[in-house]
Homo-oligomer: A and B are copies of this chain.
Amino acid sequence: MVDCAIFTLKDQALHLLLPERAKNLQTGQRALVGGRLHLNVDRSPEDGAMRVAREKLGIDVRYLEQLHSFGGLDRDEGWTVTIAYIAIVQMDQIPVSLQSDLFPVDKIPKLAFDHNEIAAMAIARMRSKSSYSSLPAFLLPPEFTIDDLRHVYQQVTGAKLVKTTFRDQVLRQGFVEKTGKMSTGRTYRPAELWRLADRTVANFNRVVSREAGYRRAIK
């Protein structure tokens, strides 16, 4: 089995996609999006997780990270193991029919099986990893302003980030690059648009901290 905790940014807040189960066990309960591995088509569990998201939701997951494997006698119907993943998708990738299945991460309902436990670990990982990596940037559209970036870091980590300090530190970490374009169609004045310099998550050598911009962390 694989299960995906699918995160997105809705109304500037971190949400988890928790559709109702349509069939099999615990029908009608909300749950993470999961399924069985198909050993004839999935080359790896990661492939399987992406296939499940594509087949069940029509979503093409571009960011996927293994969270933890859960297993044992008590978790489901008899002995099962599931490899759980964190996935990040952008809000405009989520079909309108699924948008009512988004829940703010501080208001997760009761879920099927042991999925509350898995969701709690996924949320904790998103928060802690966001404090020392470029992970939150994956929640934004491909082009964003530095202020968009600051807002998503503030949202995910809970840290209050000073505008000028944040900008300096982002540029020093070097995980974004200029697109050469300016933002348009906003009510405030245009700002430079940036994009990720890399499709993989960069770990910083400093931590986004609740207190004062960034501090050094583990390399």
The chain A residues found within 8 Å of chain B, CB to CB, are: 39, 42-45, 47, 66, 68-69, 71-74, 79, 81, 83, 128, 131-132, 207, 209, 215-219
Residues in chain B near residue A219, CB distance under 8 A: 128
CA distance A44 to B68 in the complex (A): 13
CA distance A128 to B43 in the complex (A): 30
Q: Which of B72, B79, B207 contacts A217 (CB 8 A)?
A: B207
A72 (CB) vs chain B CBs: closest residue: B44
Copies of this protein in the assembly total 2
Q: Which of B69, B81, B132 contacts A218 (CB 8 A)?
A: B132
Q: Is the CB of A69 within 8 A of B43?
A: no
Q: Is the CB of B68 within 8 A of A43?
A: no
Q: Is the CB of A128 within 8 A of B218?
A: yes
Separation in Å of the A34 CB from the closest CB of chain B?
A: 15
CA distance A42 to B209 in the complex (A): 42
Residues in chain B near residue A72, CB distance under 8 A: 42-45, 47
Residues in chain B near residue A68, CB distance under 8 A: 66
Q: Which of B44, B73, B132 contacts A44 (CB 8 A)?
A: B73
A39 (CB) vs chain B CBs: closest residue: B79
CA distance A79 to B38 in the complex (A): 10
Q: Is the CB of A69 within 8 A of B45?
A: yes
Q: Which of B45, B71, B73 contacts A71 (CB 8 A)?
A: B45
Q: Is the CB of B218 within 8 A of A131?
A: yes
